[in-house]
Amino acid sequence: QIKDFKKGFLPVILPVAVVCLLIVPANLSTALLIGATCMMLMFIGRVSGKHLLLTMGIAMIPVMLLVLAAVIRHKTAEPSAVSRQPSTHSGLLVRVDTWINRVENFMYSTKENKADDNYQVNQAKIAVANGGWIGLGPGNSRQRNFLPHPYSDFIYAIIIEEYGLIGGAIIMFIYLVFLFRSIRIFKKCPFAFGAFLALGLSFTLMIQAIANMAVNVNLFPVTGVTLPLVSMGGSSFLFTCLAIGIILSVARNAERIEGEDKATLESEGAEENQGI
């Protein structure tokens, strides 16, 4: 029934949509993270591709509206404007204005931009450029004194500055190993709930890591997403520890069940040999 639109798809996608819509006013990046994870799980769970494409198309509408609003704002802005006036809106409109500003800064970031408009991204670029191949050495970062949130949102740029591109590549390799191990747990787990739970949590951490690293190297607009197991403290670190603990619990149960099955087969084989 998973391929049936009414009986299989709607009961899954509606709660996800409601949760994401409730989170959007407070944190757009978290809502996108949850939505992307659920879409990947539904794809692996063999949900109909037509239903997934329809959902992605609907989800892309507000994204395209944000991009369009950013383009219109940039085209209609006065070239002589010294700085952007603070928003006089309140509530959700303030968040929408912030999202448009971030998309606009990402799309039209130039050297002529005022420092206040794209300060974080510019400092992260400088940190990455300073790092080179081998970096400046542990503790020798210069931009950590200028970059806001150097140990949380922009920790990856500081890692590249201190340890170089080689250190940044090692961090990426560690995350790939983590994903590979999680996929092995998914394949070994005999129960669908535990398997998809472990895979979903691992996807959440991986998407979060990719988003953080992409922001640090200016591939994505600023999102405020931290780097799992690397960024300093906060509720994100607690969630990361909880997620890894659940994944390890699923792996332990899978190994226990696998061991019990092997023991049962061995005992049955021994009984057959004795009977012969």
pLDDT digit string, tens, across residues 154-213: 888 889 988 989 999 999 999 999 999 999 999 888 888 888 999 999 999 999 999 889
Among 37-51, 57-71, 73-87, the minimum mean pLDDT is found in 73-87
List C-alpha distances in Å: 234 to 43, 55, 87, 117, 238: 31, 32, 28, 26, 7
Q: What is the pLDDT of residue 113?
A: 54
| Whole-number average pLDDT of the chain | 81
Q: How confident is the model at residue 115 (pLDDT cuts 50, 70, 90)?
A: very low
Q: What is the pLDDT of residue 153?
A: 80
Quick check: 156 and 171 in contact, CB under 8 A? yes
216-264 pLDDT per residue, tens: 888 887 777 888 888 887 788 888 899 999 999 999 988 888 777 777 7
Q: Position of tokens 């500081």?
A: 158
Q: Which two tokens stand for residue 179?
A: 């994903």
Question: 23-38 as b/e, with b when 16 or more CB fall inside 10 Å?
Answer: bbeeebbbbbbbbbbb
Q: What is the pLDDT of residue 170?
A: 93
- Judge if pTM exceeds 0.75: yes
